[in-house]
Structures are given as structure tokens and as C-alpha cells.
Structure 1
Amino acid sequence: MSNVLTMAMPKGRIFEEAVQLLRKAGYNLPDEFEDSRKLIIEVPEEELRFILAKPMDVPTYVEHGVADVGVAGKDVMIEEERDVYEVLDLKISECYMAVAGLPGYQKKDINPKVASKYPNLAAHYFKKQGEQVEIIKLNGSIELAPLIGLADRIVDIVSSGQTLKENGLVELETIEPITSRFIVNPVSYRMKAERIDKMVERLFDVVEGG
């Protein structure tokens, strides 16, 4: 059996912060690692292979076993509901999920519409609140929805709040904090337990400042 560990990573900010964590944990990753345009990066000296993917796809790759482990935002984990183990909060890419809308928004009794990249997460939240809403799935520029009358509110990730402010929106409700998690394929956890446990231990020591 190959001892190479395949890790799915989301492109962008999470990738950059996760790479820093791995380096601090003692993994020797090439200096040009973050600048590569490759979708699959081999690091033979560490017996690691990295798959770079869209954030929403990372849990899918891990669930289906094409990646042994991965890094995914808690927002994606909630939305995708994939059959993977979530073993460590990496405490990177901190932000939170929130409901936003135009200033002075008043709840409507009939057919309120909510736009989001996270339809499942949004539906679960409003169901818990006892509010019936129509969810409209969008893939980008969620802030547009209230501005053009497509939806009354949006559910989206908030980091600094600057994007909301620049588009004339305000936060209405905070749903929950979001960080990135280390996830593992259940079969890989059995087959490569020693390697995965070692990686988790090394990352845990860095995350907790040990």
C-alpha cells in the first residue's frame, strides 16, 4: 500500500493559512508551493500529494476517498453534510455566518425570500427560528440580491463586514462562528491511521501553541 497521504485543500485564503500551519508543524513544503498553478502538487520528500479544489468540493473528494484528508471551512461542512470525520479545529480563516439586509428591514409575513450560497445551512437556520422562507441559491455576488429586489435578506460569510457596508447592507442576525477544520476519510483513517494521527498531533501542537 502506498504511504503517500493525499490532502485536498481549498484554493485561496484557507490554502495559504493551512500551508503556514503545515510548515510550522514541521512539513517541508517548497517555497514556491503557494504560487503553483497546478491542481495536483506532489511533495515526494514528505510523501504528500495535494489536490487543490474549490472549497465546496473538498469534503466530496475526502468522502469519496480520492483524498485521505482535507481542510474545509465549517460553513462547507454544514452545507455539504458529507460522510467524513471532522477531527481538528485548525482555528484559521476565522469569520462567521450572518443574515444581512437593507437598513430598516422589517420581516414580512408572506413569502419572504432569502438568497445564499448556502441553501441548506440557511434553510436549517430559519427552520430553527420557526420562520418559513423561500431560499434562492446564488453562486456569487450575494449582496446584489436585496439591492435589485431578488431577495429580502441574504445569508453569507462575514469577515470584516466591509463588503456589506460598501453595498449599503447591514447585519441583521449572527448565525454562528466559522473556522477551518481538518477532515479525514473514514477508510483512510483505518488504513493510514499512524500517518494521519501523526499529522493531527503535529497540527494540534501548532494550533494550541504547544
Structure 2
Amino acid sequence: MAPRADGLTLALPKGRILKQALPLLRRVGIDLAAVWEGEHDRRLQFELPPRPGGPVAGGARVLLVKPVDVPTYVEHGVADVGIAGADTLGEEARDLYEPLDLGIGACRLAIAEPAARPTPLRRGMALRVATKYPRLTLNHYRSKGIQPEIIPLFGSVELGPITGLSDQIVDLVESGETLRQNNLREVETILYVTSRLIVHPASLKLKQAPITALIAALRDALATDGPGSSARTAARPTGSEGTA
């Protein structure tokens, strides 16, 4: 689907990442406060008025969607740009561009196992791994010469090894507190995860001026955070491995 011809459409992830993204977006002239009442507001689409002199000079439409669905809306041209985590981009291998690492939503995709029942890895071994990320998980274990049985779980992945369903899990870890409370230990990091600005390839051509302005404004906003800013300016397809 081709992008709509008028102002930009942004797909933003609901939840924790949106909370972290709002101050950054506000700094570049995209302020949802005027049209959105916060996390208790159940509306999923908003129209932002034109704001002369900024990246949304012609106005913008904002879609609030589940984080895992952001790349789908951008890939199909419903949204011009979006914010998505490196875990989702690496797992789904979408044909999109990611001109900036926004540095928000930092966590890691890691392997964990019962602290009292470690599983030494060796080539050719039988291994059951529960995860929401079958592609990234399979690629990682294959690189070690292991062909695991992948058990897809989309709820509390930590229950996999606790109940004996799996030997290990691969899941997102932020503080590690959930692992500790369930007597699991982190074994290895597969991917360091932050959230990226993603862009539909056709939008980059059809709406070059506002998208370029948005990227530049976000880059400048990130740069003011100092030397630790994680902005990355080289656009690349998200289908490549190692998107962190």
C-alpha cells in the first residue's frame, strides 16, 4: 500500500516505550498532550494539527499500536515512520530502514535457565528452548552447532524451565529481577536492544522533506543528551542480523 499523500503518519508502540518516547517527540514538535489524555485514553488514532517550521508542518496522524505490530503498519505503508525495538526488527526481518537508534527502551535478549539446574551447551546436544523469538533464538544456537527444539510461548516464558517444559528460555531482560524471583539465572546475552526509528522505503522518497526534517530534529535532540547519546545515522535494512 502506498503512503497517503498528505502529512506524516506515525505508528507508535503503546506501553513502556511510548512513555519513554513522549519527551523526545515533544522536543521535536510532536506533542500528543493536546490530543491524548494519557494511558487511560482508549483511543488509538489522533490527528495532530499543522505546526509550521517543524517536521510536522503539514500535520500528522498518530496510530497507537502494540509494539510487535509497529513494523507491520510501516511495512504496508499505513504509517510512514514508526518506533520499534531491535528485538522485533531482528525477529521479523522486515524490509524497512532504520535511520536512528533512539536509545530508549534499553534491555537485552538473553538466555536464562534454572540456577539449580544448569545446562552446559555442547555441539549436537538435544535442547528445548522456550521463547517469543524463534528466529533469533534458532540462529543463535545454530551458530554454536546446536539445533534446539523451539517451544513458542507468548506469556510468562519464565515458567518454561520452572515446569520442565524447556531446559532454557530466551527472553527480554531489563533488570533481571523477574529471573531472580523465579530462581533463574542469566546465561548469555544474544542481543542488546534499544528502540529505533523505522521508515517505509516509499515514504522516504514521496515525503522526503518532512521525514528528513524529522530525522534531523531527532538526531539533534539526541545529541543534546551528551556523548552517551546512542543515535545512529546510517540507514540500513532491518532484515540484516545484529540490529542492536
Q: What TM bracket, shorter-length normalisation?
A: over 0.9
Residue 11 of structure 1 aligns with which residue? 14
Whole-Å separation in 1 of the counterparts to 2:88 and 2:213: 25
Write the letter of the residue equivalent to 1:193. Q
Residue 58 of structure 1 aligns with which residue? 70
Whole-Å separation in 2 of the counterparts to 1:207 and 1:60: 26
Out of 160-169 and 26-35, give the one that drifted further: 26-35
CA contact (8 A) 2:113 2:186 kept: yes
- Trace 1:1-210 onto structure 2 (pairs within 5 A): 2-30=5-33, 32-35=36-39, 36-46=41-51, 47-103=59-115, 104-107=117-120, 110-209=125-224
Write the letter of the residue equivalent to 1:168. N
Whole-Å separation in 2 of the counterparts to 1:206 and 1:54: 25
SS at match of 1:61: helix
Whole-Å separation in 1 of the counterparts to 2:49 and 2:5: 12
SS at match of 1:45: coil
Whole-Å separation in 1 of the counterparts to 2:9 and 2:62: 6
* CA deviation profile, 1:154-180 (whole Å, cap 9, x unmatched): 000110001111111100111121000
**Kindly tell me: are residues 55 and 17 of structure 1, through their superposed partners in 2, closer, same or farther at Cα, counting changes over 3 Å?**
same
Whole-Å separation in 1 of the counterparts to 2:25 and 2:157: 32
Write the letter of the residue equivalent to 1:150. L
CA contact (8 A) 1:115 1:151 kept: yes
CA contact (8 A) 2:47 2:61 kept: yes
Deviation, structure 1 residue 111: 2.5
Deviation, structure 1 residue 34: 2.9
Q: Which runs of 5+ in 1 are unaligned?
A: none
Deviation, structure 1 residue 110: 4.4
Write the letter of the residue equivalent to 2:147. Q
* CA deviation profile, 1:103-122 (whole Å, cap 9, x unmatched): 14123764210000111111
Deviation, structure 1 residue 26: 3.0
CA contact (8 A) 1:97 1:178 kept: yes
Whole-Å separation in 2 of the counterparts to 1:54 and 1:89: 19
* Bigger proportion of residues as helix: 1
CA contact (8 A) 1:112 1:133 kept: yes
Structure 1 length-normalised TM: 0.94
CA contact (8 A) 1:16 1:34 kept: no
SS at match of 1:30: helix
| RMSD between superposed Cα atoms in Å | 1.6
Q: Which runs of 5+ in 2 are unaligned?
A: 52-58, 226-244
Deviation, structure 1 residue 188: 0.6
Structure 2 length-normalised TM: 0.82
CA contact (8 A) 2:22 2:31 kept: no
SS at match of 1:139: coil
After TM superposition, what 4+ stretches of structure 1 lie above 6 angstroms from structure 2?
A: none
Whole-Å separation in 2 of the counterparts to 1:147 and 1:67: 40
CA contact (8 A) 2:113 2:119 kept: no
